[in-house]
Amino acid sequence: MPGKSAPLGTPTKVTQGAKTKGGIGESTLRPDGTLKVTGEFAYSSDMWHEDMLWGQILRSTTAHAEIVSIDTAEALALPGVYAVMTYDDLPTDVKNYGLEIQDTPVLAHGRVRHHGEPVAIVAADHPETARRAAAKIRVEYRDLPVITDEASATAPDAILIHDNRTDHHIGHVDHPNIVHRQPIVRGDVEAARARADFIVTGEYTFGMQDQAFLGPESGLAVPAEDGGVDLYIATQWLHSDLRQIAPVLGLPEDKVRMTLSGVGGAFGGREDLSMQIHACLLALRTGKPVKIVYNRFESFFGHVHRHPAKLTYEHGATKDGKLTHLKARIVLDGGAYASASPAVVGNAASLGAGPYVVDDVDIDCIALYTNNPPCGAMRGFGAVQACFAYEAQMDKLADAVGMDRVEFRRLNAMEQGTLLPTGQAVDSPAPVAELLRRVKAMPLPPEQQWLTAGEAADVRQLPGGLSNTTHGEGVVRGIGYAVGIKNVGFSEGFDDYSTARVRMEVVGGEPVATVHTAMAEVGQGGVTVHAQIARTELGVAQVTIHPADTQVGSAGSTSASRQTYVTGGAVKNSCELVREKVLEVGRRKFGSYHPAWATAELLLEGGKVVTDAGEVLADLVDVLGDESVEVEAEWRHRPTEPFDLRTGQGFGHVQYSFAAHRAVVEVDTELGLVKVIELACAQDVGKALNPLSVVGQIQGGTTQGLGIAVMEEIIVDPKTAKVRNPSFTDYLIPTILDTPTIPVDVLELADAHAPYGLRGIGEAPTLSSTPAVLAAIRNATGLELTKTPVRPEHLTGTA
């Protein structure tokens, strides 16, 4: 540009712009990884405030009872106690909360409906004082009969868990102790059954799984001078919490300011409120900051679990192996309060046929109200229970037809264009047959890996591990396969949006993007992905991720495998809007210096404005100068619609996620002990935004599925509805010696509807892992095994 005097800062030298590093598709490292592994990460339980009090919750010791009286006098008299609150102390008429149905009391009123229900809360100057004070509250209960299963829930004279229901499901359920019912009816099952050459039936039982996340429920509520409260909290969805908290406190939502604190993990277990309202109530009552931290024991009572289920399935096939029909009934135990039960019902029903082509379907799914622990969201959300049943059925049916189990599945596998039993067409790649082919083609682990070059058996490679129960005696290998389908995002017409605020400015001589969302980082890696998206879209190296809080619009829940899709989509969208504004600024400042400003497709790369041909037009530092460009925008995926209440027909889901597993197990058939040797997984992820995180999610989901296959179960006494194993001593989760090698084969078949073509990935591996392990154990033992988790008693006939 000779001959003209350029404004200060005009680029004088034109260089090739290098592609921005650390963008999407790269395995950038998560910021919390090293901190968590070394114990340095600040969890929400680590927060501290000067002059703070400790809150403690008194919980019911019985599962179903009338509360005759509550005497708090002795607790209040204890030195160091600042407040004791019961139902009578709640400040407004809003005394219940709930995700969809507001049926959960903040504090019990007249009746407790499950073991461990909050009855009273205490604030004291020391956690031990708070505990002792809680123990001094005298609650007199008059026990009521407990409802623990479908028969007792739907008996004509059954006590109603909730009197006078007014929610929008009561009109279409057969009994008030049924939360929600969703039939899925398509085609003509009776006619199709007549065409079947083979019919197999099965009844399956799925146990209650706990999320067992790191960092039990905790938070700190700080009363503010304006009469509001600041709540620092580990949760999955800040704005959903806010919507439920504010009315109970009698505050407008802008006076309840929430900030996400260090979350260890969630897996659905933080979707419902836990101690949020209790901490705020005590803070507002005492005028002091109040911290509440559950220990692991309380955590088992402090969040909802995965629905236990009973599933009855009938499938038919022709002699050439084509599925004819499916008739299924799925009964989920929702426990005492609704939580996410209605949506779990919708998922279990609509995905109850699995990733298969079957035209004639009759599925009926209900969730019960009982006095068992409340159940709600957990990774896989209804699709997990169904997958356990339909995959067991596929093996039985393949055997009946006389086909190879994988080939039978491949023959019936859905593909793009297949109609689901809801009538919805699968309108993006559905590589079910290919995933099965890939997972089967992986090399098998060598036999008898416990044989060492030395003299002795390596017991770590054997069932029983370090417990030294076998040196190879009784050990039989088995192999099993499974595949599953999970929806991504919130379904059934929910307005499933997210919000991102993105700012671009020059800081310290460098262009910096700041991304501010309310997305809960619960370990899924969202903050890493947001930075990657900003780098890709805005061409900057430095991205600041603002802490998640309610000072920006809702991001929706970190669940349903949706955050990379939806909040990732919102960040991408806001970045694009920022980019347009930055280019406008650039055109205004420098447009006259180069014709490409007007004519070329312009990109931001490597801190510069470049043309699509790679020519650098300006440095972002010069374009922005002292200006900052900021956009906050909501972003939505395409809308869905509710399922018809009688037929289940409807465009209910946004996207699907598919994974297939091959499990190799070795079973000590005499002792009934299982060692999972390998769990190979193939999954289509659409586009791996962060390949390392993708593999981590798949391996984590796989391991959580293994847990429910062989050990994880909350055991509830059927006579008392009390939880028998609320501790990590007796609720076992896999250790590293229980976790096998997990080879992962990642497919990237883009979904044209989704940002970057990506697919939500977090849940699908949890579906197929469990039935694959069960299939492998059946293969090794020849037993039918209709219940998960499999316990040694089930394998040795000593139950």
Question: By the criterion CB under 8 A, which residues form the site for other proteins?
Answer: 131, 295, 297, 452, 454-460, 463-474, 670-673, 675, 710-711, 715, 724-725, 727, 729-730, 732, 734-738, 791-793, 796, 798-799
Give the nearer residue to other proteins in terms of CB position, either 118 or 606: 118
Give the span between the Cα atoms of 308 and 370, in whole angstroms: 12
Give the nearer residue to other proteins in terms of CB position, either 167 or 738: 738
Q: In the complex, what is the shortest distance from the CB of residue 730 to other proteins, in angstroms, rounded to a whole number?
A: 5
Give the span between the Cα atoms of 372 and 43, in whole angstroms: 30
Sort strands 323-333 and 360-368 into parallel, antiparallel or unpaired.
parallel
Q: Which residues, other chains included, contact 230 with Cβ-Cβ below 8 Å and sequence gap of 6+?
A: 221, 222, 224, 257, 258, 259
Q: In the complex, what is the shortest distance from the CB of residue 203 to other proteins, in angstroms, rounded to a whole number?
A: 22
Give the nearer residue to other proteins in terms of CB position, either 91 or 464: 464
Tokens of 151: 């028969």
Sort strands 510-516 and 542-545 into parallel, antiparallel or unpaired.
parallel
Give the nearer residue to other proteins in terms of CB position, either 679 or 695: 679
Give the nearer residue to other proteins in terms of CB position, either 580 or 730: 730
Helices 341-350 and 383-401 sit at what angle, rounded to 10 degrees?
Answer: 20
Give the span between the Cα atoms of 343 and 339, in whole angstroms: 9
Q: In the complex, what is the shortest distance from the CB of residue 233 to other proteins, in angstroms, rounded to a whole number?
A: 24
Give which of 289, 228, 234 is closest to 265, Cα–Cα: 234
Three-point CA angle 689, 693, 698, nearest 5°: 110
Cβ 356 vs Cβ 251: under 8 Å? no
Q: In the complex, what is the shortest distance from the CB of residue 728 to other proteins, in angstroms, rounded to a whole number?
A: 9
Q: In the complex, what is the shortest distance from the CB of residue 477 to other proteins, in angstroms, rounded to a whole number?
A: 16
Give the span between the Cα atoms of 182 and 342, in whole angstroms: 9
Give the nearer residue to other proteins in terms of CB position, either 100 or 298: 298
Give which of 795, 488, 520 is closest to 668, Cα–Cα: 795
Give the nearer residue to other proteins in terms of CB position, either 237 or 731: 731
Give the span between the Cα atoms of 716 and 561, in whole angstroms: 29
Q: In the complex, what is the shortest distance from the CB of residue 18 to other proteins, in angstroms, rounded to a whole number?
A: 47
Give the nearer residue to other proteins in terms of CB position, either 295 or 418: 295
Q: In the complex, what is the shortest distance from the CB of residue 467 to other proteins, in angstroms, rounded to a whole number?
A: 4
Q: In the complex, what is the shortest distance from the CB of residue 725 to other proteins, in angstroms, rounded to a whole number?
A: 5
- DSSP category for residue 716: B
Give which of 278, 267, 258, 280 is closest to 215, Cα–Cα: 267
Helices 691-710 and 764-781 sit at what angle, rounded to 10 degrees?
Answer: 40
Give the nearer residue to other proteins in terms of CB position, either 264 or 707: 707
Q: What is the dihedral of CA 686, 691, 696, 698, to 10 degrees?
A: 20
Which residue type sits at 197? D
Q: In the complex, what is the shortest distance from the CB of residue 773 to other proteins, in angstroms, rounded to a whole number?
A: 14
Cβ 439 vs Cβ 681: under 8 Å? yes
Q: In the complex, what is the shortest distance from the CB of residue 453 to other proteins, in angstroms, rounded to a whole number?
A: 12
Order the strands of the 53-59 sheet from edge to edge.
Answer: 81-85, 118-124, 53-59, 290-293, 218-223, 229-233, 256-260
Q: In the complex, what is the shortest distance from the CB of residue 439 to other proteins, in angstroms, rounded to a whole number?
A: 24
Give the nearer residue to other proteins in terms of CB position, either 16 or 448: 448
Q: In the complex, what is the shortest distance from the CB of residue 465 to other proteins, in angstroms, rounded to a whole number?
A: 3
Gyration radius of the chain's alpha carbons? 28
Q: In the complex, what is the shortest distance from the CB of residue 795 to other proteins, in angstroms, rounded to a whole number?
A: 10
How many whole angstroms from its chain centre is CA 716? 23
Q: Which residues, other chains included, contact 13 with Cβ-Cβ below 8 Å and sequence gap of 6+?
A: none
Give the span between the Cα atoms of 503 and 513, in whole angstroms: 6
Give the nearer residue to other proteins in terms of CB position, either 637 or 722: 722
Give the nearer residue to other proteins in terms of CB position, either 260 or 671: 671
Q: In the complex, what is the shortest distance from the CB of residue 207 to other proteins, in angstroms, rounded to a whole number?
A: 12
Give the nearer residue to other proteins in terms of CB position, either 526 or 672: 672
Half-sphere exposure of 137 (CA within 13 A, CB side): 29
Give the span between the Cα atoms of 434 and 6, in whole angstroms: 59
Give the nearer residue to other proteins in terms of CB position, either 201 or 467: 467
How many whole angstroms from its chain centre is CA 636? 20
Tokens of 132: 């002792």
Give the span between the Cα atoms of 18 and 89, in whole angstroms: 63
SS3 call for 63: coil
